[in-house]
Amino acid sequence: MNKLIAFFFFVATFTSVAEAQNKYPLDAALLRTDNDSTIIKKFFDHALTSGKAYEWLDTLSNKIGGRLSGSKEAAQAVDWAERLFRSLNVTVIKQECMVPHWVRGEKEKGSIIPFKTKNIISVPICALGGSISTPPDFKAAKVVEVKNFEELEKLGRKNIEGKIVFYSRPMDATQINTFSAYGGAVDQRWGGAMKAAPYGAVGVVVRSMTLSLDDYPHTGAMGYNDTIPKIPACAISTKGADLLSKLLKKDPETKFLFKTSCQKLPDEKSYNVIGEIKGTEHPEEIIVVGGHLDSWDLGDGAFDDGAGVVQSAEVLNLFNALGIKPKRTIRAVMYMNEENGGKGGEKYAELAKQNGEQHIFAIESDAGGTTPHGFSLKGDSLMIEKILSWQNLFKRYNLYSWFRGYGGADIDHLEKQCPVLSGLSVDSQRYFDYHHAATDTFDKVNRRELELGAASMAALIYLISEYGLK
């Protein structure tokens, strides 16, 4: 788009433009006399003109990078988070927690070996998080392809024993919300090894959890059960999965071989890192905004969930920059170990209970740093009604989607201690292209989209802080 016509249209249609940046008085008393709509606009204006979240994300992603729990990068991220909160002049709290320490080891290798040609075809794979490594004597094995656990059950031990089970059900591309598509397929990744081992499978290979057809394997947590033998599990790229399916159709004797050298080391000490602004009128009522500081190791974790942690810190930064003293206490929580254990979320809830803290609202941003569309909400109906009554204040920012739904993996540990949990709902189309893969990198994040998410949460938290939820 270009051109005179467009130009005249825009100039004629929209009021504009070119106001000075950073023009807001830092006088809290003055701000208090403004109306809510004006203050909400200030959150958005400041975030879009002077927000810091994008710079912070650049550092976290590009200077530290992927930061799986227990890694040296995760420890660096904890230090970075502490320094960041100190630079904002907010109270810093660190909560120690023990976290799993799983390491990937050498780059994994996967290959398809058609029986007829014996031409070995390399395919991109990676170990699933938490998997044991392939044993030294692991050999190429025949493959049983299944779409779900029901098919597995029907095939039974006689068809599965000694083979590798290949879970090939794709995410459902017709779901408009890609998280629904993920939810409908990820049982294969989490439960695949546990389900296949009892039938004598020697390993599992799972189609990557993405809607993109490409050459990147997507890792993510998988589970074992102590009563069931542990077998190694890997993810294969979607193109690799399509190829394997195709070759198996042509030649059912096709074998698959993969080699991983991952291992579980002893648990490590790590931390949730929290920045806090005490409330002026009801300091005992706590509002949490959070994301998770750990990430998978293949990319730099900018989307999952660097975006959420820098947005959370930005919420505090916006209150400070605008000189708004919240009536209730606001905590930005960078949780540790969301990806493969949830120990940080658990610890936060445990300490909150132990300390008799009163949480009134918790929101998590863990769906990537894309354009926000609204909020999912769960919990006390009357309180949610109160929140929903504010929707009109958000329409000019295109936050049209307020619905009953999920909170977040970290804050859900607070479910019994916090009457309302919320998730920042964002445009989900691109998310799973990058999720848990080498493609989850800083360059995929757009500064404005990221800042709009931070401002959206700040604005909602502002209203809750002003008016409470009772």
Nearest CB to a second copy, comparing residues 90 and 193: 193
By CB under 8 A, residue 448 contacts a second copy: yes
Nearest CB to a second copy, comparing residues 14 and 355: 14
Count of chain residues binding a second copy (CB under 8 A): 80
Residues 397-416 that bind a second copy (CB under 8 A): 397-398, 400-401, 405-406, 408-409, 412
Quick note: the x/- pattern for a second copy over 253-292, rule CB under 8 A, is ----------------------------------------
What whole-number distance in Å separates Cα of residue 134 and Cα of residue 42?
A: 55
Residues 296-315 that bind a second copy (CB under 8 A): 296, 304-305
Residue 249, judged by CB atoms within 10 A of its CB (0-12, 13-18, 19+), counts as exposed
Residues 33-72 that bind a second copy (CB under 8 A): 44-45, 48-49
By CB under 8 A, residue 29 contacts a second copy: no
Residues 202-231 that bind a second copy (CB under 8 A): 211-212, 220-221, 223
Quick note: the x/- pattern for a second copy over 151-180, rule CB under 8 A, is ------------------xxxxxxxxxxxx
Residues 319-358 that bind a second copy (CB under 8 A): 338-340, 342
Q: Do 467 and 328 touch, CB atoms closer than 8 A?
A: no
What whole-number distance in Å separates Cα of residue 164 and Cα of residue 205?
A: 7
Instruction: Give the H/E segment covering residue 154.
Output: helix 149-160
Dump the DSSP string for 172-183: -TT-SSHHHHHH
Nearest CB to a second copy, comparing residues 251 and 346: 346
Q: Do 48 and 458 touch, CB atoms closer than 8 A?
A: no
Residue 23, judged by CB atoms within 10 A of its CB (0-12, 13-18, 19+), counts as exposed
Rounded least distance, CB 447 to a second copy, Å: 7
- Please select the residue that binds a second copy; options are 427, 466, 467, 468, rule is CB under 8 A: 427
Q: Do 311 and 297 touch, CB atoms closer than 8 A?
A: no
What whole-number distance in Å separates Cα of residue 459 and Cα of residue 41?
A: 9
By CB under 8 A, residue 185 contacts a second copy: yes
Rounded least distance, CB 408 to a second copy, Å: 8
Dump the DSSP string for 215-248: S-----B----TTS----EEEE-HHHHHHHHHHH
